[in-house]
Amino acid sequence: MLELVRGRRLKERYALLWLATGVVLLVLSAWRGGLNTIAGWLGVTSYPPAVLFAVATLFILLVLLHYSTVISKLTDENVELAQRIALLEERVGRSASTAPRSPAD
Amino acid sequence: MSPGRIVAVVPAYNEAGAVGRVVDEIRAASPEVEVVVVDDASTDGTAAVAEARGATVLRLPFNVGIGGAVQTGFRYALEQEFDRAIRLDGDGQHDASEIPKLLEPLERGDADLVIGSRFVDDGASYRPPFARRLGIRVFARLVSLLGGQRVTDTTSGFIALDRAGIELFAREYPHDYPEVEATLVALRSGLRLSQVQVEMRERETGTSSITFVRSLYYIVKVLLALLVASLRRYPRLEGAGR
């Protein structure tokens, strides 16, 4: 995790989120007593570790949802950039063909 | 009302075989129109062909799809301050000789967006396969319902716009399977719509990219897009209705 953040491949805010979730899941899986208590509150009596899976799944779903919105936005921005590049290159091409030749040519 | 400057936006993806003819036809039928071919990162030299025929070419750095390509053309139209924009597809299905028909409602000041519809006069000579016809009618009914105005051909890309239309679509144009949603967006933004009967030709070269699975995906996707489009709020465009 630390390496990923240091290497700029993972933004700090996500690292924090993953760290926190990792800790919670780790603690609950190790501390059987706590897991049973929480399972009790939620009415899950037959198989307490199910709570662990539920939490992990929920977390994953939320992250995926978040990614979907990020990707959508990036896509739109990407398309706009492509369009503006196409327009700019055309404009540059036009002025290049009418511009006086520089001494270097 | 004099037409002012007109631009023909021609999106093309790997249509090197057909685009030359499209450009020629437009220039022959309406020489005052500037032809702008938007090359959606074709790999077959489409851009070169178009340029050789005298069209202005906008080259996209990577493929963005028909919606993005068409929007590029409208952005150009806005930037260059054209008064009218027409869209014809690069595969030759749209007939350049029908251009004056499309421009007419704009000249009269009756509309901001004109759609060349294959079904205005109840069918004329175009009889697509049953499933397709059903699909088109369903979408037409839906868009008519959601947009508040009778729309007959929602998948036609053969359209003409005035400045209000150019402004809207340059800013906002759906990227996936755009034609259906775009009509709805236009109506909800207060643009006045007019439809004229046109005939379209069969695709000249290349193959259509529609398969059965894609059709299914298309239907679901468009329904969803229409739902979203009908729920969003749209700023009223100033200049529409002029």
CB contact under 8 A, A82 and B64: yes
Q: Which CATH number fits the domain that encloses residue B91?
A: 3.90.550.10
Residue, of B92 and B134, whose pLDDT is higher: B92
Instruction: Compute the distance between CA of residue B81 and CA of residue B32 in angstroms, rounded to an integer.
Output: 15
B64 at interface of A, judged by CB pairs closer than 8 A: yes
Check if the beta carbon of residue A82 is closer than 8 Å to that of residue A75.
no
Instruction: Compute the distance between CA of residue B89 and CA of residue B92 in angstroms, rounded to an integer.
Output: 6
Rounded to an integer, what is the distance from CA B240 to the centroid of its chain? 19
Closest-CA residue of chain A to B60: A86
Q: What is the pLDDT of residue B241?
A: 44
Q: Is residue B86 part of a domain?
A: yes
Q: In sequence order, what are the beta bridge partners of A77?
A: none
For CA atoms B25, B31, B32, B37, the dihedral sign is positive
Report which residue type is found at A64: L
Tokens 């990020």, residue located: A70
Q: Is residue B158 part of a domain?
A: yes
Tell me the residue range of the domain where B158 lies: 6-231
A92 at interface of B, judged by CB pairs closer than 8 A: no
How far does the CA of residue B90 sit from the closest CA of chain A (Å)? Answer: 17
B57 at interface of A, judged by CB pairs closer than 8 A: yes
Q: Is residue B241 part of a domain?
A: no
Q: Is residue B242 part of a domain?
A: no
Q: What pTM did the predictor assign?
A: 0.80
Residue, of A69 and A27, whose pLDDT is higher: A69
Q: What is the pLDDT of residues B148-182, one digit of tens each?
A: 788 888 788 899 999 999 999 999 998 877 888 88
Check if the beta carbon of residue B207 is closer than 8 Å to that of residue B220.
no
Instruction: Compute the distance between CA of residue B35 and CA of residue B12 in angstroms, rounded to an integer.
Output: 12
Q: What is the pLDDT of residues B120-140, one digit of tens each?
A: 766 555 566 666 667 777 778
Candidate from B38, B59, B64 with C-beta closest to A79: B64
Mean pLDDT for B209-230 is: 74
Q: Is residue B236 part of a domain?
A: no
Complex ipTM, two decimals? Answer: 0.83
**Alpha helix stretches (DSSP H) within A1-105:** 2-6, 12-30, 32-42, 49-98
- Domain residue extents for chain A: 2-96
Say how many C-beta atoms besides its own lie within 10 A of residue B6's C-beta. 19
Mean pLDDT for B88-111 is: 88
Query: CA A36 → CA A23, A26, A27, A41, A52, distances in Å?
Result: 17, 14, 12, 9, 11
Rounded to the nearest integer, the mean pLDDT of chain B is: 83
Instruction: Compute the distance between CA of residue A40 and CA of residue B172 in angstroms, rounded to an integer.
Output: 52
Q: Is residue B125 part of a domain?
A: yes
Closest-CA residue of chain A to B66: A79
| DSSP states along B7-56 | EEEEEESS-HHHHHHHHHHHHHH-TTEEEEEEE-S-SSSHHHHHHHTT-E
Instruction: Compute the distance between CA of residue B223 and CA of residue A54 in angstroms, rounded to an integer.
Output: 33
How far does the CA of residue B128 sit from the closest CA of chain A (Å)? Answer: 33
- What contacts B140, CB < 8 A, 6 or more positions away? B119, B151, B152, B153, B154
Mean pLDDT for B137-149 is: 80
B221 at interface of A, judged by CB pairs closer than 8 A: no
End-to-end Cα, chain A, rounded Å: 52
Pairing verdict, β B193-197 and B113-117: parallel
Tokens 């700023």, residue located: B235
Number of domains in chain B: 1
